[in-house]
């Protein structure tokens, strides 16, 4: 493969452009926005990087490989992208998601332990918790900075970066100004827009989610304080990264929103739900002032698995997406797998193929269990 067009400069597309460019492929990276734009599903300041995926060993191994590759990108670029502060899981049951994850991570040799939550957080209430699982080498990615760095490093390796809205035309890419781009391979990695461009091939729901950041003070900052997830209660967040505030989010699937729609402000009900959780889990933050709040997007596949497969009518065209609220962390590892598939040296998992999918167990929290 000597040339490739990647449409979409989010986590998946940016990582693929970086990977291909540094291995000598002539890459054109196209996006209608600047990399890191908040309107994209890769937008926003932070994402958890954790290996726990319940009983799913393949995603756990992918997240661990991605951690190594994010570190390579840091070394190459000189940017601080990953805060290794750990991630704590509040297990509501002795034999649930967290116990499955503990078994899988142990089998894979990924560091994991049961920890005293009082040693991880300045103040925490865990009367409802069976145990706290801790991944000491997990942490938080600076998502917007990471997305921008991927595109910048792709360009540093020779990729051409084009700003413009694109649509498919057979095996080619047509830009809004009429230009037609062609290459040996075209990869459409355009988040929620994948649904609108290839709706006859992929099933994706685009939802609006809410993010809340609270004043907490330096005692709640990393690396002292980890990220955290309460799988069964569908809550997650981060410590006070870079002084932006303590992040807390309710992970129930939000209402539908069009990819092109303006993102609205957050709801009073959403803030109330998060504050109720803080009062129960982190009582010292129950009355914390709101530092910031915003809406963002998820692009959800029916079974929470990624979409990564060739177009049935155009074998040189590939579709890549379905991050489903847990994909960003995997970006460089997924790019590595995609590059091998494009080169014909290794197949992608069958569960990422185009076709009918039954609802599956969510891979971020139980908030999507009703799909």
CA atoms within 13 A on the CB side of 283: 7
pLDDT digits (tens, 9 = 90+) for 304-359: 999 999 999 999 999 999 999 999 999 999 999 999 999 999 999 999 999 999 98
The full set of domains in the chain, from first to last, is 3-368 (3.50.50.60)
At 362 the pLDDT is 87
Query: Which of 25, 302, 39 is CA-nearest to residue 187?
Result: 25
DSSP-derived secondary structure letter, 151: H
Average pLDDT of the segment spanning 43-67: 96
User: Could you tell me if 70 and 121 are in contact, meaning their C-beta atoms sit under 8 angstroms apart?
Assistant: no
At 42 the pLDDT is 80
Q: How far is CA 265 from CA 221, 236, 237, 298, in A?
A: 26, 20, 19, 16
Confidence class for position 1, pLDDT limits 50, 70, 90: low
pLDDT digits (tens, 9 = 90+) for 84-117: 999 999 999 999 999 999 999 999 999 999 999 9
State the chain's mean pLDDT as an integer: 95
First vs last Cα of the chain: how many Å apart? 39
At 369 the pLDDT is 45
Confidence class for position 371, pLDDT limits 50, 70, 90: very low
pLDDT greater than 80 at residue 165: yes
Quote the percentage of the chain above a pLDDT of 70. 99
The partner residues of 187 in beta bridges, in order of sequence, read 6, 318
pLDDT digits (tens, 9 = 90+) for 72-84: 999 999 999 999 9
At 36 the pLDDT is 76
DSSP-derived secondary structure letter, 4: E
Global pTM value: 0.96
pLDDT greater than 80 at residue 127: yes
pLDDT greater than 70 at residue 154: yes
Q: How far is CA 325 from CA 49, 94, 177, 182, 317, in A?
A: 12, 25, 32, 31, 24
Query: Which strands form 26-31's sheet, in the order they lie side by side?
Result: 160-163, 26-31, 3-7, 185-188, 317-321, 307-310
pLDDT greater than 80 at residue 370: no
pLDDT greater than 50 at residue 16: yes
């Amino acid at each position: 493969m000597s040339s490739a067009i990647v449409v979409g400069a989010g986590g998946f597309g940016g990582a693929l452009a970086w990977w291909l460019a540094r291995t000598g492929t002539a890459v054109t990276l196209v996006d209608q926005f600047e990399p890191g734009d908040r309107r994209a599903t890769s937008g926003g300041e932070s994402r958890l990087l954790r290996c726990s995926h319940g009983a799913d060993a393949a995603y756990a191994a992918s997240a661990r490989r991605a951690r190594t590759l994010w570190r390579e990108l840091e070394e190459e670029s000189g940017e601080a992208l990953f805060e290794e502060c750990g991630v704590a899981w509040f297990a509501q049951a002795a034999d649930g998601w967290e116990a499955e994850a503990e078994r899988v991570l142990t089998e894979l040799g990924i560091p994991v332990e049961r920890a005293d939550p009082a040693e991880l957080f300045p103040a925490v209430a865990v009367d409802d918790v069976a145990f706290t699982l801790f991944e000491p080498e997990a942490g938080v990615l600076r998502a917007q900075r990471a997305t921008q760095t991927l595109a910048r490093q792709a360009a540093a390796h020779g990729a051409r970066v084009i700003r413009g809205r694109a649509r498919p035309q057979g095996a080619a890419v047509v830009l809004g100004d009429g230009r037609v781009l062609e290459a040996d391979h075209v990869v459409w990695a355009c988040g929620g827009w994948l649904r609108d461009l290839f709706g006859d091939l992929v099933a994706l729901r685009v939802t609006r989610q809410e993010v809340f950041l609270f004043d907490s003070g330096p005692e709640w900052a990393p690396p002292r304080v980890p990220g955290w997830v309460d799988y069964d209660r569908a809550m997650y967040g981060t410590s006070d990264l870079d002084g932006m505030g303590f992040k807390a989010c309710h992970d129930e699937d939000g209402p539908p929103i069009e990819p092109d729609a303006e993102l609205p402000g957050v709801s009073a009900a959403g803030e109330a739900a998060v504050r109720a959780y803080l009062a129960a889990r982190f009582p010292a933050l129950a009355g914390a002032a709101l530092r910031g709040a915003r809406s963002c997007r998820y692009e959800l596949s029916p079974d929470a698995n990624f979409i990564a497969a060739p177009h049935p009518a155009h074998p040189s065209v590939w579709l890549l997406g379905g991050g489903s609220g847990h994909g960003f962390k995997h970006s460089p590892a997924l790019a590595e797998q995609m590059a091998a598939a494009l080169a014909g040296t290794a197949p992608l998992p069958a569960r990422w193929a185009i076709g009918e999918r039954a609802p599956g167990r969510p891979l971020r929290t139980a908030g999507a269990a009703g799909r």
